Structure 1
Amino acid sequence: MEILIVEDESEIAQLIKQTLERENFSCAVASNGLLALESFKQQEPDLVILDLMLPGLDGLEVCTRIRQQPNVKDPYILMLTARGEEIDRVIGLSTGADDYLVKPFSPRELVARVRALLRRSLRHSTQESSQIYRTKHFTVDLDQRIATRQLNSQAAENLDLTTLEFNLLATFISYPGRVWSRTQLIDKLWGNDFFGDERVVDTHIRRLRKKIEPDTANPTFVKTVVGVGYKFEDEA
Structure 2
Amino acid sequence: MRDLIGDYLVKHGFDVSRAADSVAMKRALAWKPADLIMLDLQLGEENGLDVLRKLDGEDDLPVIIITGNGGEEADKVVGLELGADDYIVKPFGLREMLARVRAVLRRAEGARAAARRRAERAVYRFAGWKLAMKTRVLTGPDGAATRLTAGEFNLLAAFVRNPQHVLTREQLLGASRVHDEEVFDRSIDVQILRLRRKLEVDPTQPKLIRTERGVGYVFAVAVEVV
- TM-score, scaled to structure 1: 0.48
Larger radius of gyration: 2
Name the TM-score, length of structure 2 as normaliser.
0.49
